[in-house]
Amino acid sequence: MDRLEAMRVFATAAGEGSLSAAGRKLGMPLATVSRKVAELERGIGAPLLTRTARGMSLTVTGRGYLAACRRILEDVGEAERLASGEYRAPRGELVVTAPMVFGRLHLVPIIVEFLAAFRDIDVRAVLDDRILGIPDGQIDVAIRIGDLHDSSLVATRVGGVRLVVCASPAYLARCGTPATPAELGAHACISFTGLSPPDAWKFGSTRPGRPVAIRPRLTVNSAEAAVDAALAHVGLVRVLSYQVEREVRSGSLVTVLGKFERAPRPVQVVYARRKPLPLKQRAFLDFAIPRLRAGLR
């Protein structure tokens, strides 16, 4: 048995959530994937996966072994990168993640410039509002909005974003402009559940635990849908400032209750602590950080 290959197959299956998905990602028949995982289990003498009609899950042993596999595979990968010269010249694939709208507006234009400047580096941009793991070696660089809870990561602040309330001029002309958060109860609101509870918003002047009740006429789980509804004059919406930057600049949306806003949320470039840092990663950090700062002024 090729133990490293079997580890790679097992780690991919765990990451993808199924053996068939791992086979598709690796370009490997399902039977081969299943056989390699079974060989690994026989070699260890313990089951790593629990298979059911609904899918699969990691056993207790499997969870511990997965973490060890990822560390071993990363160490092997680093040795191979060192031998191939990745630490002498920036080359290879770089995986970067960011929240979806932020990534589209601020990160992808920088990546386009970066690709033109570094011909031997390829970038896989994963735009996802979920927090994706960095320590397992799957992500090289991440953009995080908000406080960082993992102190083992390296973080560089590049700016801040505000949580803003806004509406279309037509809605404000029809229903009036709220002067204080207490007036929100008399307004139609669009609730974006990715940022706040569906029926309450907190403000800078609000004591912790005392949110302001709102009347959501529409509740959505997508920032783009919430902004589109505000543009259609449905009501007031609360989103992050970069999500409506273009609309506010053009005048199609107007911010309100500005003096009640909470402190800006930090925007940080985050990566795992590694020595030495691959040149492809160092090149991207040096290229992206000043451009992100300039764009978030």
pTM, 2 dp:
0.64
pLDDT bin (cut points 50, 70, 90) of residue 87 is low
Within this chain, do residues 170 and 223 fall inside the same structural domain, yes or no?
A: yes
Total domains in the chain come to 3
Does the structure show a pLDDT above 50 at 296?
A: yes
Within this chain, do residues 33 and 149 fall inside the same structural domain, yes or no?
A: no
pLDDT bin (cut points 50, 70, 90) of residue 112 is very high
Within this chain, do residues 169 and 234 fall inside the same structural domain, yes or no?
A: yes
pLDDT at site 206: 47
Within this chain, do residues 12 and 54 fall inside the same structural domain, yes or no?
A: yes
pLDDT at site 53: 66
Give mean pLDDT, residues 141-146: 90
Name which residue leads in pLDDT, 187 or 274: 187
Summarize pLDDT for 211-239 with one digit per residue, the tens. 889 989 999 988 899 999 999 999 999 99
Within this chain, do residues 286 and 143 fall inside the same structural domain, yes or no?
A: yes
- Domain hosting residue 181, numbered range: 163-260
Within this chain, do residues 78 and 98 fall inside the same structural domain, yes or no?
A: no
Name which residue leads in pLDDT, 21 or 89: 21
pLDDT at site 169: 97
pLDDT bin (cut points 50, 70, 90) of residue 88 is low
Domain end position, chosen among 84, 115, 148: 84
- How many residues appear in the chain? 297
pLDDT at site 203: 87
Within this chain, do residues 49 and 194 fall inside the same structural domain, yes or no?
A: no
Name which residue leads in pLDDT, 89 or 176: 176
Summarize pLDDT for 8-63 with one digit per residue, the tens. 999 888 888 888 888 888 888 989 998 999 998 888 888 998 877 667 888 989 88
- 210 vs 221: CA distance, rounded Å: 23
Task: Please answer whether residues 102 and 126 qualify as being in contact, where contact means their C-beta atoms are separated by less than 8 angstroms.
Answer: no
Domain end position, chosen among 52, 84, 116: 84
Most confident region among 70-74, 79-83, 172-176, 194-198 by mean pLDDT: 172-176
Domain containing residue 290: CATH number: 3.40.190.10
Does the structure show a pLDDT above 80 at 210?
A: no
Query: Parallel, antiparallel, or unpaired for β 121-127 and 92-98?
Result: parallel
Within this chain, do residues 108 and 121 fall inside the same structural domain, yes or no?
A: yes
As beta bridge partners, residue 127 has: 98
pLDDT at site 70: 84
Task: Please answer whether residues 246 and 257 qualify as being in contact, where contact means their C-beta atoms are separated by less than 8 angstroms.
Answer: no
pLDDT at site 86: 59
Q: Which two tokens stand for residue 130?
A: 């979920």
Within this chain, do residues 69 and 152 fall inside the same structural domain, yes or no?
A: no
pLDDT at site 266: 92
Name which residue leads in pLDDT, 136 or 133: 133
Q: What is the DSSP string of the chain?
A: --HHHHHHHHHHHHHHTSHHHHHHHHT--HHHHHHHHHHHHHHHTS--EEEETTEEEE-HHHHHHHHHHHHHHHHHHHHHHHHHTTTTS--EEEEEEE-HHHIIIIIHHHHHHHHHH-TTEEEEEEE-SS---STTSS-SEEEEES----TTEEEEEEEEE-EEEEE-HHHHHHH---SSGGGGGGSEEEEETTTS-TTEE--TTSPTT-PEE-EEEEEES-HHHHHHHHHTT--EEEEEGGGGHHHHHHTSSEEE-GGGPPPPEEEEEEEE--SSPPHHHHHHHHHHHHHHHHHT-
Does the structure show a pLDDT above 60 at 283?
A: yes
Domain end position, chosen among 26, 52, 84: 84
Within this chain, do residues 209 and 242 fall inside the same structural domain, yes or no?
A: yes
Within this chain, do residues 105 and 239 fall inside the same structural domain, yes or no?
A: no
- 206 vs 212: CA distance, rounded Å: 8
Domain containing residue 15: CATH number: 1.10.10.10
Does the structure show a pLDDT above 90 at 193?
A: no
Within this chain, do residues 174 and 247 fall inside the same structural domain, yes or no?
A: yes
